């Protein structure tokens, strides 16, 4: 049986009220405020009506540019650096392996998810193209320019996968199809496979089938919340947002039927008030369906309705990361694991020696997502520092070194005898995003 030594957790691992997990009662979002009429539906952007001019880097003191998909897409700072359209360096990362393309409109996303930097309530103070999302800026780039760069040498590209991320907008379904066609006209999807991060609220079964027929490889649903109650409070009625748990599951089941085993999955954010048992039950359900879970550690996104709440304590996050990896890739079932009265993992269901081997490999603690070209259990979508600062990494966007494994063991309370980790041992100097 594995032994949890919680008293050895880092000070930064302690969550609200001194607890080592983010409990439901403390993870209550703020209510969205009123939006001035002039700012609604991209009002400021449309009033400025500035024609787009090539690549748009957020916060450059431009007047808000009038850009929209399918001609324009946004991409993460890491993807823009890797593509070569903006300068910058990432702590301990040479590049990202996933070109994540986010649909963009002056009206922005019409949903209001409480943890999200793109949510509608932000119209009050920030134009869509200038909003932070998973901790970073998202430059906007003409889609043809993206394809021009990648089509020069798809097989030699640093990108192992492209992902189209839909948002909640009336044009989102049609524009996803156009962006996919623009890509596959010049880039063979067998050289760089395409994933779809869907918006189920606007989709029907025929939309899922159409994307598969047009060459999409993997279809994912961003459930984000691990339980129906958390879903409703963070993405549904609780924050005046249009999403429903039932509709998300309906589309996830379409994806299972149409894309098939290993070709669909769901995003889950850990630490929004669910128990570890809740989230791992969901992970098991997805594996039993034939899919995978892609996990994010809750981080209080600046400007979001949850920016006053604590990030997920590292020991909670590491327990869930390890248990999820065992279920997804090592054939362990949740029934073999044990949990305490607060739903925390107390036994991972394997002998300690086997757990040690898996921890030492480090893969369980890397960013999870759709696979790239290295291995089935190594995500192309490495999202550098999307769910933590580099100083306290949640999802490792690179292969762990021995010092990183020591840190993870310290956070888990599973150190080897004679080993130690001191805060900062893993940090390297440099320019960080
Ligand atoms: S639908 Fe997606 S992009 Fe829109 S607010 Fe919700 S999480 Fe953010």
For 78-123, how does the pLDDT look when each residue is reduced to its tens digit (9 = 90+)? 999 999 999 988 888 888 899 999 999 999 999 999 999 999 999 9
**Spatial contact of 197 and 165, defined as CB atoms under 8 Å apart:** yes
For 285-298, how does the pLDDT look when each residue is reduced to its tens digit (9 = 90+)? 999 999 999 999 99
CA of 197 to the centre of ligand 1 (A): 11
**Domain 6-412: CATH class, spelled out:** alpha beta
**From atom 2 of ligand 1, which residue's Cα is the shortest distance away?**
167
CA of 109 to the centre of ligand 1 (A): 6
**Spatial contact of 338 and 269, defined as CB atoms under 8 Å apart:** no
CA of 71 to the centre of ligand 1 (A): 21
Work out the pLDDT band at 17, boundaries 50, 70, 90. Answer: low
Both ends of the chain: CA-CA distance in Å?
40
pTM for this prediction: 0.93
Q: Residues lining ligand 1, CB < 6 A?
A: 109, 111, 113, 116, 118-119, 167-168
Give the number of the atom of ligand 1 that is nearest the alpha carbon of residue 235.
6
For 272-289, how does the pLDDT look when each residue is reduced to its tens digit (9 = 90+)? 999 999 999 999 999 999
- Which of 33-47, 113-127, 215-229 has the highest mean predicted lDDT (pLDDT)? 215-229
Residue 417: which residues within 8 A CB-CB, separation 6 or more?
none
Residue 62 carries which DSSP code?
P
pLDDT of residue 51: 86
Structure tokens given for 6: 């919680």
CA of 314 to the centre of ligand 1 (A): 25
**From atom 3 of ligand 1, which residue's Cα is the shortest distance away?**
167
> Which residue among 111, 222, 241 is best mutated to probe the pocket of ligand 1, counting the most ligand atoms within 8 A of its Cβ?
111
Mean pLDDT for the chain overall: 92
State the maximum Cα–Cα separation within the chain, in Å, rounded to a whole number: 64
Least confident segment among 25-29, 194-198, 421-425: 421-425
> Which residue among 76, 167, 232, 251 is best mutated to probe the pocket of ligand 1, counting the most ligand atoms within 8 A of its Cβ?
167
Residue (of 259, 242, 404, 289) closest to 281 by Cα position: 289
* Domain residue spans of the chain: 6-412
CA of 356 to the centre of ligand 1 (A): 37
CA of 133 to the centre of ligand 1 (A): 10
CB atoms within 10 A of CB 60: 10
Residue with tokens 């030492």: 360
**From atom 6 of ligand 1, which residue's Cα is the shortest distance away?**
113
pLDDT of residue 50: 86
Least confident segment among 18-27, 36-45, 247-256, 329-338: 18-27
Give the number of the atom of ligand 1 that is nearest the alpha carbon of residue 109.
4
CA of 111 to the centre of ligand 1 (A): 6
């Amino acid at each position: 049986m594995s032994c949890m030594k919680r008293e050895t957790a880092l000070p930064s691992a302690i969550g609200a009220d001194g607890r080592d997990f983010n409990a439901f009662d403390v993870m209550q979002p703020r209510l969205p405020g009123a939006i001035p009429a002039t700012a609604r539906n991209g009002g400021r952007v449309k009033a400025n009506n500035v024609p787009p001019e090539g690549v748009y880097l957020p916060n450059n003191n431009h007047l808000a540019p009038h850009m929209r998909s399918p001609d324009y897409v946004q991409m993460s700072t890491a993807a823009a650096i890797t593509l070569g359209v903006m300068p910058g360096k990432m702590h301990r990362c040479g590049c990202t392996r996933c070109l994540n393309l986010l649909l963009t409109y002056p009206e922005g996303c019409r949903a209001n998810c409480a943890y999200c930097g793109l949510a509608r309530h932000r119209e009050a103070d920030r134009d869509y193209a200038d909003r932070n999302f998973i901790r970073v800026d998202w430059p906007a780039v003409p889609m043809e320019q993206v394809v021009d760069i990648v089509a020069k040498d798809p097989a030699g590209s640093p990108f192992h996968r492209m992902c189209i991320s839909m948002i909640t907008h009336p044009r989102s379904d049609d524009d996803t199809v156009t962006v996919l066609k623009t890509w596959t006209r010049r880039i063979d999807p067998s050289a760089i496979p395409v994933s779809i991060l869907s918006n189920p609220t606007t989709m029907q079964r025929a939309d899922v089938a159409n994307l598969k027929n047009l060459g999409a490889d993997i279809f994912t649903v961003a459930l984000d919340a691990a339980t129906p109650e958390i879903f409703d409070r963070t993405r549904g009625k609780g924050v005046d947002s249009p999403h429903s748990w039932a509709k998300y599951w309906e589309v996830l089941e379409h994806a299972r039927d149409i894309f098939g085993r290993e070709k669909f999955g769901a995003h889950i954010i850990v630490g929004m008030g669910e128990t570890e048992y809740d989230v791992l039950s969901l992970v098991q359900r997805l594996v039993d369906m034939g899919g995978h879970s892609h996990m994010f550690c809750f981080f209080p996104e600046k400007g979001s309705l949850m920016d006053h709440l604590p990030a997920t304590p590292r020991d909670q996050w590491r327990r869930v990361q390890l248990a999820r990896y065992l279920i997804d890739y090592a054939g362990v079932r949740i029934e073999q694991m044990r949990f305490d009265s607060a739903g925390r993992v107390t036994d991972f269901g394997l002998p300690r020696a086997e757990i040690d081997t898996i921890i030492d490999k480090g893969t369980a603690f890397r960013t999870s997502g759709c696979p790239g070209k290295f291995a089935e259990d190594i995500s192309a979508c490495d999202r550098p520092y999307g769910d933590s600062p580099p100083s306290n990494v949640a999802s490792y966007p690179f292969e762990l070194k021995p010092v990183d494994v020591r840190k993870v063991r310290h956070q888990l309370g599973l150190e080897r005898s004679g080993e130690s980790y001191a805060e900062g041992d893993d940090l390297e100097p440099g320019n960080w995003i």
